[in-house]
Amino acid sequence: MLRDIQHAALDLVEEQGLEATTVGDIADRVGVSERTVFRYYPSKEHALMPGQQGLVNALVACETGHHTSSGILEVLLTVCREHFSHEVEQRDFRRISRLMIQEPEMLRVAMRQERHLVEALSSALLHRSVLDGLQSLLVAEVVTASWRVAWQSFARDEYDGVASDPVALFDRTVRELSQLFPNP
């Protein structure tokens, strides 16, 4: 059912745009009630990009142990990479990436979801007393930015017709990050 709803949402947004697509349209396409759609997804946007909440859950649940802030960042980036890889294998990553370029509202949706990720992750790190407030926020922002840069790079390549590997782009993003800010 989850995949059917997501596919219907993607089909409809590709056909008529995000603004014109309603939860009722998605429900009709799948042959279920709106209530059923809302049982699985809180909004049409979440149906389009369901992986974001999975990423939030995985990062918030991640055990960071007694690492330094750079060690915590490394652990979280590893979890992020695993989730990114899973998304590529399990979701309509290419379709979503193309829509991110074609539909400006999709970028705003992604930005709201990223804000939620930063808030949830920084709060979890702070709550565990692993890092102070500023460190927690910085780590959460860097993890989120790494996800975004890799995703946007892939979306740009996909839109331009350039073959690329999204997981390799994520790995490159993390490598570039470590070169820009090497450990002291």
Check pLDDT > 80 for residue 171. Answer: yes
Q: Is residue 97 domain-shared with residue 155, that is, in the same domain?
A: yes
Q: How far apart are CA 21 and CA 29, in angstroms?
A: 11
CB 158 within 8 A of CB 97: yes
CATH number at residue 153: 1.10.357.10
Q: How many domains does the chain have?
A: 2
Asked whether residue 85 falls in the same domain as residue 161, the answer is yes
In a shared domain, residues 99 and 21: no
Residues 35 and 72 in one domain: no
Verify that 61 and 150 share a domain, yes or no.
yes
Q: Rounding to the nearest 10 degrees, give the CA dihedral for residues 121, 126, 129, 134.
A: 120
Question: How many residues are listed for the chain in this entry?
Answer: 184
Distance (Å, rounded) from C-alpha 143 to C-alpha 55?
11
157 and 71 in one domain? yes
Same-domain pairing of 35 and 88:
no
d(CA 150, CA 93): 12
d(CA 48, CA 5) in angstroms, rounded, equals 9
| Rounded Cα gap, residues 60 and 24, in angstroms | 32
> Mind listing the pLDDT tens digit for each residue in 52-106?
778 888 898 888 776 777 789 889 999 999 887 877 776 677 788 778 778 888 8
CATH number of residue 26's parent domain: 1.10.10.60
Same domain as 42, residue 56? no
- Asked whether the predicted pLDDT for residue 35 surpasses 60, the reply is yes
Whether residue 85 is found in the same domain as residue 37: no
Pick the range with the lowest mean pLDDT from 9-13, 33-37, 63-67, 73-77. 63-67
Say how far residue 1 (Cα) sits from the centre of its chain.
21
Expressed as residue numbers, the domain containing 6 is 1-46
Q: Are residues 27 and 86 in the same domain?
A: no
